Amino acid sequence: MSGKKVLQIDNRDYYGGESASLNLTQIFEKFKKTKPEDDSLGSDYQYCVDQVPKFLMATGNLIKILIHTKVTHYVNFNVIGGSYVFRGSTQKPCKVPATASDALRSSLMGLFQKRRLRNFLVFVKDCKLDDPTLLTQTASELMVEYKLDENTQSFIGHAMALFSDESYLQGPAKELVKRLHLYAYSLNRCGKSPYIYPMYGLGSISEGFARLSAVYGESKGGALMMDQKMPEILFDDEGKAIGVKSGEKAGSAPFVMGQPRFFPKDKTRVVARVARAICLMDHPIPNTDTQSGMVIIPADQVAKGAAATMFSAAKTKYKARKNDIYVTCVDGTSFEVTAPAKYVAFVSTVMESDNPDTELRPGLDLLGKILHKFVTVDDVYAPTNNSSKDMCHISRGLDASTHFQTVSEDVLKLYRDIVGEDLDMSIDADGVLEEE
């Protein structure tokens, strides 16, 4: 990190922490379920199943960060097959339009809205981010100016700009346009969708960092210690972090950085609870034309119109929600994460009650028959400390979204707090797929 020597300690015996990718036996053992005795699911070595599923925006900040660190030299990426949004009135996932021509072909809206969306996307494409009107006009005012209705605004804000709630509507239009630029540019870069995903799961990214530690360990001071006793943060009399201790081993450091679970509880707080379901299947997401993809169910679509009673064949009623539901699916053939002809799908959302099955149900109903399902509920922590005083740089927990936009923002903040300057993000991310 910016010329600094780094010692990484983990009490687990596998790479990735919360973002680890587990084999078949590890999955069943983690959730205390009995693994099928037959070989219908395939072998352990064929599975690399993420615990916290997230896709990468093809030209987004996380890719640029990985290029900076040279981790992309050790990780191969493939393109996710499609990006979809659920619309209540259609009762199925619809492809997200990102260009003017896409808008005219979309099944998400009627003829008049198609034309208005087309005009809006033409404006966004040609708009310069230094246009002063983008700071004086809110995102809502900009979309109303183009006479976009609530449904069209919903999928623009949630499925393209990837906002997680409605607060962006009252923010400056510049942020909306900036995010739409990234979505459209990434889509243009990849062709099928704006998202890419690493071969062998997200755990391969952590393994890439481990390989870098091995390569540069002696010359640049990188070291990785796995399967250690839970590290203890060491503090001086003034409450400032001065190092770490694991078992009988200890080391000094000018600061300590890590996940919330490594730090005293009084330095973090719970900001949300996230429900996630890992689903093993023998088919991709129904009503899509791809083997891998993401479906975003905007909160306002869960209990709107016919969707309230016809979300599933069982015609189950669903309560109105404040938070989006995210559904993803990857296949073994394209990403080497499951056995051939098998798929792993994920459903995640912020908990609004105490029943994860109820929270996840609208997303699970999109998947059809599920062979095996594993459900978790995790607290999401955020730091409450002053890192400039106690030298504890604590990352935020992983949220419910199935993309890395919020994670990359947190990484850049940690870098700025530690190094004292922003990471240069002018780096070109276009070549990452060709490099692999």
What's 97-191's CATH class?
Answer: mainly alpha
Is residue 200 over pLDDT 80?
Answer: yes
Q: What is the pLDDT of residues 26-76, one digit of tens each?
A: 999 999 999 998 889 999 999 999 988 899 999 888 898 888 888 888 899
Q: Does residue 196 contact residue 80 with C-beta atoms inside 8 Å?
A: yes
- Neighbouring residues of 428: CB distance < 8 A, sequence distance ≥ 6: none
Number of residues assigned to the chain: 436
The residue whose two tokens read 């059809």 is 368
Is residue 374 over pLDDT 90?
Answer: yes
Domains of the chain by residue range:
1-82+192-436, 97-191
CA distances (Å), 66 to each of 30, 35, 70, 71, 432, in order? 29, 36, 6, 5, 10
The pair phi, psi for residue 79, each rounded to 5°, is -90, 135
* Model pTM above 0.75: yes
Q: What is the pLDDT of residues 141-153, one digit of tens each?
A: 999 999 999 989 9
Q: What is the average per-residue pLDDT within 163-172?
A: 90
Question: Residue 305 — very low, low, confident or very high, per pLDDT cuts 50/70/90?
Answer: very low
Per CATH, 1-82+192-436 and 97-191 having the same topology is answered no
Tokens of residue 286, six digits? 């129904």
Q: What is the pLDDT of residues 204-254, one digit of tens each?
A: 888 888 777 767 665 566 777 777 888 899 999 999 999 999 888 888 999
User: H helices within 191-327, ranges in order?
Assistant: 203-220, 299-302, 307-310
Question: Residue 90 — very low, low, confident or very high, per pLDDT cuts 50/70/90?
Answer: low
What is the structure's pLDDT at 390?
Answer: 97
- Alpha-carbon gap, residue 21 to 220, rounded angstroms: 28
- Alpha-carbon gap, residue 163 to 184, rounded angstroms: 15
What's 1-82+192-436's CATH class?
Answer: alpha beta
- Alpha-carbon gap, residue 241 to 394, rounded angstroms: 12
Tokens of residue 9, six digits? 């300690």
